[in-house]
């Protein structure tokens, strides 16, 4: 168990070597080095997983921050939840590192890319391994930094740099909430360590204002990191980064940190049902809202990005109804199929020479057979076709929600219809029909090298069988993932997590399969048979399409409501308060003194008679003054 | 004798430097490195739980109760270390400039060092005041002689401002002296022992607050600062922002809180309000700056506003955090101003819009830049985070709205700093940055110690926190026992 520290140590070493040795590491050696370091972490994680005895263990490295009664050790916690996350992060991380060797091969800053990627894995592992909220926060902000560095990886492009800034700043808004939540937790419980806080919280009654405040503040952090309304707008822009980054950071791992954090804090959230309801509503709204935008996007990565936002919404709904392990289930399956979809999209982009607009693609299935096959698997998985991974986890969320709120259930069910629609639209527009790009591109179309396709195939396998770790009760008595996570989960007392009836489950599965079949046929007719390719010009769009295409103009709204007024305040403060008012006062005092001394100077006439007179007058005045007192 | 050696060695070296002509800078550098080693030797002898140490106490003017009384507790020691650590870096960074009359320039810097150290170790009010004023003269001359275009007007404003504050402090100190029993004394401990009635504590609070608030500076007494920071030669700006402003915060901790605890309890809410307004106010102004040096100046107002707010929260973490953050801020702001200086020397401009693309030609420089920048926006595992976390924690214990408003610095700091980084370093190379050269050895020698300290203090802050923790406890004990308030 003492080996825990090795898990983050490998990528950290990888980062140091690849960044300090950037000039000396020629060819693809930086990529191999970085991939091996993450793979070594994966092996360690596997070892820890198989030797894990069911007892949570804490390993303290050193005392980090100590001030009075505040004590924050730098220590790691190994339990079921962190193990699951370790496996996801290092496992998928390894595949994406290997894929990147092919994807980034011709980039000048090849070594720099891998050093950032390794640094990201290090911080992500810190995030999931920390045994208190401040170490978690260190990882949390660290992954944010790497996200910033990688979004702006191609730093010559101003738009990319702006997207990077936006991501960091949006996250910081959430992080302020998170930080205040941690501080309030310290003030309330006298500790920020998981074990102490949770032990203390077990004695607290439901819906105490301070607990609601803490959980809400922490959730604000999650809204930023996991891109929920209203802090989601950075994630679609984050697609400016190289595609493997989108797969690893902005789909599979970092953006699920918010869900991890809530699951980690489930003891607190379970005694704050009010917060849970709020989370469920935010999650549902985000799922629906993002899915509608995805319907009309034309950039292959943007569609997937909004889809990620939407899927994260699903996970939060699961949290909101107290189904913590269900949320983790969806985190896991989503990591498989979304990483797969992004990497496959990367393979497409690679093939068409950097083009990301699906209106200029089409007919790629013959030229890119492997990419097509795995993209198809990813699409089927996310749409919820049995028996692929997404089917089980998404149906489980729907089933759990249906037990608590019919309204949310219908909204989410409708959203899954949308999900299938935009995914098949994407699939058909990209891979079916005729190629709509330039002749130049058509000439160069090629399948990606095997260093890229092998990770795709492995992820496709995981996306296919990943769902079996959590089969519904109609199929299996054992829900492996729930059983595994059970020791760290404390469900809300008020919400009885009852299992839906078998009849209901059959109906749910039946109707979703039926609906999916209709959607697939409808989409095929529309996009393949009738070749209804979205217009390249905004003027041709209907009003609704235009609004969706422009993402409801939310960026414009934020700019008008927050950015511009605040900057106006800054200018106003400087011009009118600093310069005119405050300096005016100083200037006034200054002038007063000058004026005063000019007046007083007149008394110095040089006339000795006047001086004597003044002196005598003064003495008399003092004497009188003393007498009067 | 160790403290006297520490205090007067720079003064002796200053005299040597004055007559050494062109070798002045090397002698000055050697002297400050030696001084740093002396201060390090004190660290080894220092006992964290030992209260005030290295005490020397002789009568100076016995009739007036003035003594040469110096000593160090943990808080003093850290500020002494900050001073002795930064001085060699400041001198080394000035090597890049050809200053006219170098003998005088380095003479003044070394005199300044003595005075700063004196402020941090004085245990006698009169002595403290003498050092306080002594520190003002060299920096005034440095700015006046070696400053930018508008230096005469700006240094006058600076001088009048701070002199006004000093005068108020002098009045307060003399009044306190009159209250001491017997033949009167300027002893710090005799000030602590006074029982001052609330009405007098009130005016004393405002007199001392103004004196220190101008120095720090706290909104709305800050308007001298951006001008002075921008127009001074870089070494002067570093001295002012890295060390001198800490005199004000140190003054609060040593000469205000324990002397008039009831006055502080009564009025700290207004003090905190001003600090917090200043954080938001200065951050927003920093955001719209075009001049990078001025941007750093405004960001510094925001950062020290948080430090001062932590002091006035009187909570353990607030006070402890303020001591720690004084060090972090000193290290980081010196790093930032040095980076601004490097940019200006190479491109002849500080205008964000005229810069860009430095990363393409000088990736090494860009890396140092972003590390210092991240420390200043308090990313975890850098020094800025430890301090900010403790300060916000302390402030939250005092008041929720204050913590929320002050916390906005977490967001705004990222906004204006990353914005500046984007404009200066990223994008396509601008005309001004085409021939931007990588860091030379001298420049690296300045930046490497700064980066090392950023990570050391961020990853293993325990060393620094432990030195000051018992002193913070003692300080709070004095405050709370004198005022009869409970210390929770």
This complex has an ipTM of 0.93
Worst-scoring range by mean pLDDT, A62-66, A566-570, B29-33, B166-170?
A566-570
What pLDDT band is residue A497 in, cutting at 50, 70 and 90?
low
pLDDT for A555 equals 85
Average pLDDT over residues A103-125: 92
CA A478 to CA A471: how far, in whole Å? 7
Percent of all residues in chain B with a pLDDT value above 90, rounded to a whole number: 78
- What's the whole-number mean pLDDT along residues A358-384? 90
Averaged pLDDT for residues A371-379 = 93
Instruction: Check residue A498 and report its DSSP letter.
Output: P
Angle in degrees, 0-180, between the axes of helices B441-459 and B316-347, rounded to the nearest 10: 160
Q: Which residue has the tokens 């039926």?
A: A514
Across the range A211-237, mean pLDDT stands at 94
Is the pLDDT at A463 greater than 60, yes or no?
Answer: yes
With a cut of 80, say whether residue B324 has pLDDT above it.
yes
Q: What is the mean pLDDT of residues B39-49?
A: 91
- A93-120 mean pLDDT: 92
Q: Does the beta-carbon distance from A176 to B286 stay under 8 Å?
A: no
pLDDT (0 to 100) of residue A75:
94
| Partner-chain contact A569 B284, CB within 8 Å | yes
Report the pLDDT averaged over residues B469-478.
Answer: 91
The answer to whether residue B287 neighbours chain A at the CB level (below 8 Å) is: yes
pLDDT of B487 over the 60 cut: no
The secondary structure of B413-428 as a DSSP string is HHHHHHHHHHHHHSSS
Q: H/E element holding A72? A: strand A70-78
Q: What is the mean pLDDT of residues B185-189?
A: 90
For residue B217, say if its preceding peptide bond is cis, omega within 30 degrees of 0: yes
What does the pLDDT look like over B254-286, one tens digit per residue? 999 999 999 999 899 999 999 999 999 999 999
Q: What is the pLDDT of residue A513?
A: 86
- A68 and B320 within 8 Å at the Cβ level: the answer is yes
DSSP-derived 3-state class of residue A67: strand
**pLDDT of amino acid B285:** 94
Give residues 85 to 144 of A whose Cβ lies within 8 Å of B: 134, 137-138, 141-142
Q: Is the pLDDT of residue A494 over 70?
A: no
In the three-class reduction of DSSP (H, G, I as helix; E, B as strand; rest coil), residue B59 is classed as strand
Taking residues B420-445, report their average pLDDT.
91
User: Which pLDDT score is estimated for A9?
Assistant: 94
Does the distance separating the beta carbons of A586 and B393 come in below 8 Å?
no
Report percent pLDDT > 70 for chain B. Answer: 99
Per-residue pLDDT at A512 exceeds 50: yes
Q: How far is B20 from chain A (nearest CA, A)?
A: 40
Reading the block at residue A70, the tokens are 């505040």
Contact between chains at A161 and B285 (C-beta distance less than 8 A): no
Structure confidence at residue B488 (pLDDT) = 44
Among B367, B414, B488, the strongest candidate for a mutation testing the A interface, having the largest count of A CBs within 10 A, is B414
Q: Which tokens is A104 given? A: 């980034």
Q: What is the mean pLDDT of residues B302-312?
A: 95
Strands B66-72 and B53-61: antiparallel
Query: In Å, how far is B442's CA from the nearest CA of chain A?
Result: 20
Please name the residue that has the structure tokens 């009159």.
B178
Chain-chain contact of A573 with B284 (C-beta, under 8 angstroms): yes
Determine the residue of chain A that is closest to B395 in CA distance: A183
pLDDT of residue B36: 96
> Rounded to an integer, what distance in angstroms lies between the CA atom of residue B29 and that of residue B25?
6
Query: Contacts of residue A217 in chain B, CB cutoff 8 Å?
Result: none
- pLDDT of A251 > 90? The answer is no
Residue from B383, B384, B395, B418 whose CB has the most chain A CBs within 10 Å, to mutate: B418
Among the listed residues A249, A230, A224, the one whose alpha carbon sits nearest the alpha carbon of residue A238: A249
Q: Mean pLDDT lowest for which of A350-359, A371-380, B86-95, B230-239?
A: A350-359
Q: Which residues of A touch B415 (CB under 8 A)?
A: 169
Residue with more model confidence, B289 or A496: B289
Strands, DSSP E only, in B44-181? 53-61, 66-72
- Asked if residues B314 and B454 have their Cβ atoms less than 8 Å apart, the reply is no
Interface touch B389/A134, C-beta < 8 Å: yes
List the single range of A528-542, B278-292, B397-411 with lowest mean pLDDT: A528-542
Least confident interval from A69-78, A389-398, B374-383? A389-398
Q: What is the pLDDT of residue A474?
A: 67
Task: Sort out which chain A residues have CB atoms less than 8 A from B320's CB and list them.
Answer: 67-68
Task: Identify the band that residue B243 occupies on the pLDDT scale cut at 50, 70 and 90.
Answer: very high
What is the pLDDT, as a whole number, of residue B102? 87
Which residues of chain A have a CB within 8 Å of the CB of B472? 68
pLDDT of residue A619: 79
Q: Is B458 on the interface with A (CB under 8 A)?
A: no
pLDDT of residue A495: 57
Strands (E), A400-464: none
Q: Note the pLDDT of residue B239.
A: 94
Query: CA-to-CA distance for B98 and B103, rounded, in angstroms?
Result: 12
The rounded percent of chain A whose pLDDT value lies above 70 is 97
| CA dist B110 → A114, A614, B70, B88, B137 (Å) | 47, 47, 20, 10, 12
pLDDT at B484 over 60: no
Say if residue A232's pLDDT is above 60.
yes
- pLDDT for residue A499 is more than 80: no
List Cβ neighbours of A525 (8 Å cut-off, separation of 6 or more). none
| Lowest-confidence pick of A465-479, B175-189, B439-453 | A465-479
Which residues are CB-contacts of A275 (< 8 A; sequence separation ≥ 6)?
A: A212, A215, A216, A219, A269
pLDDT of residue A610: 73
Query: How much is the average pLDDT of A280-304?
Result: 93
Q: Above 80 in pLDDT, residue A110?
A: yes
Query: Region A36-59: what's the mean pLDDT?
Result: 92
The pLDDT of residue A628 is 66
Inform me whether the pLDDT recorded for A353 exceeds 90.
Answer: no
Give me the residue from B285, B415, B428 closest to A574, CB to CB.
B285
Residue A629: pLDDT band with limits 50, 70, 90: low
Contact between residue B113 and residue B142 where contact means Cβ atoms under 8 Å apart: no
Q: Any idea where the domains of chain A sit in the sequence?
A: 284-467+495-534, 556-628
The overall average pLDDT reported for chain A is 88
């Amino acid at each position: 168990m003492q080996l825990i520290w090795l898990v983050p140590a490998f990528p950290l070493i990888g980062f140091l070597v690849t960044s300090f040795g950037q000039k000396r590491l020629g060819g693809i050696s930086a990529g191999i080095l970085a991939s091996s370091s993450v793979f070594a972490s994966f092996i360690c994680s596997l070892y820890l997983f198989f030797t894990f005895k069911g007892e949570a263990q804490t390993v303290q490295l050193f005392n980090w921050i100590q001030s009075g009664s505040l004590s924050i050790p730098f220590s790691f916690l190994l339990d079921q939840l962190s193990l699951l996350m370790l496996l996801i992060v290092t496992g998928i991380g390894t595949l994406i590192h290997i894929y990147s060797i092919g994807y980034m091969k011709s980039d000048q800053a090849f070594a720099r890319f891998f050093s950032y990627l390794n640094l990201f894995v290090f911080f992500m592992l810190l995030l999931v391994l920390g045994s208190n909220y401040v170490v978690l926060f260190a990882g949390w902000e660290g992954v944010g930094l790497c996200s910033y560095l990688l979004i702006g990886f191609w730093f010559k492009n101003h738009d990319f740099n702006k997207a990077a800034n936006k991501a960091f700043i949006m996250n910081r808004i959430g992080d302020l909430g998170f930080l205040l939540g941690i501080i309030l937790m310290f003030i309330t419980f006298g500790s920020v360590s998981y074990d102490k806080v949770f032990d203390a919280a077990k004695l607290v009654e439901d819906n105490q204002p301070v607990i609601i405040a803490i959980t809400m503040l922490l959730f604000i952090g999650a809204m930023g990191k996991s891109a929920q309304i209203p802090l989601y707008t950075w994630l679609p822009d984050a697609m400016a980064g190289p595609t493997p980054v989108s797969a690893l950071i902005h789909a599979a791992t970092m953006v699920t940190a918010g869900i991890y954090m809530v699951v980690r804090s489930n003891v607190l959230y379970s005694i704050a049902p009010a917060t849970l309801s709020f989370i469920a509503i935010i999650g549902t709204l985000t799922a629906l809202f993002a899915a509608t935008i995805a319907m009309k996007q034309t950039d292959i990565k943007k569609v997937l990005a909004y889809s990620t936002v939407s899927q994260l919404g699903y996970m939060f709904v699961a949290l909101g109804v107290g189904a913590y392990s269900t949320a983790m289930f969806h985190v896991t399956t989503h990591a498989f199929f979304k990483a797969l979809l992004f990497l496959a999209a990367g393979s497409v982009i690679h093939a068409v020479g950097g083009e990301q607009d699906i209106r200029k693609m089409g007919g790629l299935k013959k030229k890119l057979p492997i990419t097509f096959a795995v993209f198809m698997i990813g699409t089927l998985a996310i749409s919820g076709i049995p028996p692929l991974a997404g089917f089980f986890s998404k149906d489980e969320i729907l089933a759990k929600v249906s037990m608590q709120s019919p309204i949310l259930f219908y909204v989410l069910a409708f959203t899954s219809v949308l999900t299938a629609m935009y995914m098949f639209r994407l699939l058909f527009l990209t891979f079916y029909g005729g190629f709509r790009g330039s002749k130049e591109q058509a000439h160069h179309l090629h399948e990606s090298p095997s260093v890229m396709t092998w990770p795709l195939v492995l992820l496709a396998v995981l996306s296919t069988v990943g769902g079996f770790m959590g089969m519904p009760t109609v199929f299996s008595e054992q829900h492996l993932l729930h059983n595994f996570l059970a020791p760290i989960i404390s469900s809300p007392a008020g919400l009885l997590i009852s299992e839906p009836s078998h009849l209901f489950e059959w109906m749910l599965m039946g109707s979703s399969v039926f609906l999916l079949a209709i959607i697939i046929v409808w989409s095929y007719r529309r996009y393949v048979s009738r070749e209804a390719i979205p217009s390249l010009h905004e003027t041709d769009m209907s009003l609704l399409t235009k609004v969706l295409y422009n993402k409801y103009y939310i960026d414009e709204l934020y700019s008008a409501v927050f950015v511009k007024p605040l900057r106006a305040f800054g200018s106003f403060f400087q011009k009118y308060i600093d310069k005119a008012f405050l300096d005016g006062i100083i200037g006034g005092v200054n002038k007063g003194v000058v004026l005063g001394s000019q007046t007083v100077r007149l008394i110095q006439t040089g006339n000795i008679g006047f001086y004597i007179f003044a002196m005598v007058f003064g003495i008399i005045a003092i004497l009188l003054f003393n007498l009067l007192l | 004798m160790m403290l006297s050696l520490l205090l007067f060695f720079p003064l002796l070296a200053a005299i040597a430097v004055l007559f050494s002509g062109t070798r002045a800078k090397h002698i000055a550098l050697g002297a400050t490195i030696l001084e740093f080693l002396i201060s390090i030797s004190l660290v080894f002898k220092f006992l964290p739980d030992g209260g005030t140490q290295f005490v020397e106490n002789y009568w100076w003017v016995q009739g007036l109760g003035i003594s040469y009384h110096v000593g160090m507790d943990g808080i003093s020691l850290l500020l002494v270390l900050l001073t002795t650590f930064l001085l060699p870096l400041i001198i080394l960074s000035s090597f890049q400039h050809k200053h006219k009359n170098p003998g005088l320039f380095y003479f003044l810097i070394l005199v300044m060092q003595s005075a700063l150290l004196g402020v941090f170790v004085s245990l006698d009010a009169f002595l403290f005041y003498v050092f306080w004023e002594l520190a003002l003269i060299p920096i005034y001359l440095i700015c006046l002689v070696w400053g930018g275009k508008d230096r005469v007007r700006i240094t006058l404003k600076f001088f009048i401002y701070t002199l006004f504050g000093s005068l108020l402090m002098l009045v307060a100190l003399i009044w306190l002296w009159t209250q001491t029993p017997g033949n009167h004394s300027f002893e710090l401990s005799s000030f602590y022992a006074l029982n001052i009635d609330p009405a007098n504590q009130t005016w004393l609070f405002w007199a001392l607050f103004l004196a220190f608030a101008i120095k720090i500076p706290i909104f709305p007494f800050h308007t001298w600062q951006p001008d002075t920071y921008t127009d001074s030669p870089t070494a002067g700006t570093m001295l002012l922002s890295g060390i001198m402003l800490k005199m004000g915060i140190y003054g609060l901790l040593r000469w205000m809180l324990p002397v008039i605890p009831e006055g502080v309890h009564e009025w700290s809410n207004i003090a905190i309000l001003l600090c917090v307004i200043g954080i938001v106010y200065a951050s927003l102004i920093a955001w719209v700056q075009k001049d990078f040096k001025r941007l750093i100046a405004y960001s510094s107002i925001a950062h020290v506003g948080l430090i001062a707010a932590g002091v006035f929260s009187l909570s353990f973490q607030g006070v402890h955090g303020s001591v720690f953050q004084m060090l972090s801020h000193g290290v980081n702001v010196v790093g930032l101003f040095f980076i601004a200086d490097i940019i200006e020397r190479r491109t002849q401009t500080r205008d964000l819009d005229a810069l860009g693309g430095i990363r393409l030609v000088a990736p090494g420089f860009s890396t140092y830049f972003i590390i210092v920048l991240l420390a200043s926006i308090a990313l975890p595992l850098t020094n800025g985070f430890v301090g900010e976390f403790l300060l916000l924690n302390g402030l939250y214990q005092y008041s929720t709205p204050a913590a929320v408003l002050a916390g906005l610095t977490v967001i705004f700091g990222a906004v204006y700093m990353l914005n500046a980084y984007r404009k200066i370093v990223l994008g396509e190379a601008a005309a001004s940055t085409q021939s931007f050269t990588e860091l030379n050895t001298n420049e690296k020698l300045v930046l490497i110690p700064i980066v090392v300290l950023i990570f050391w203090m961020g990853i293993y802050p325990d060393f620094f926190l432990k030195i000051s923790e018992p002193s913070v406890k003692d300080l709070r004990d004095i405050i709370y026992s004198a005022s009869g308030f409970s210390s929770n």
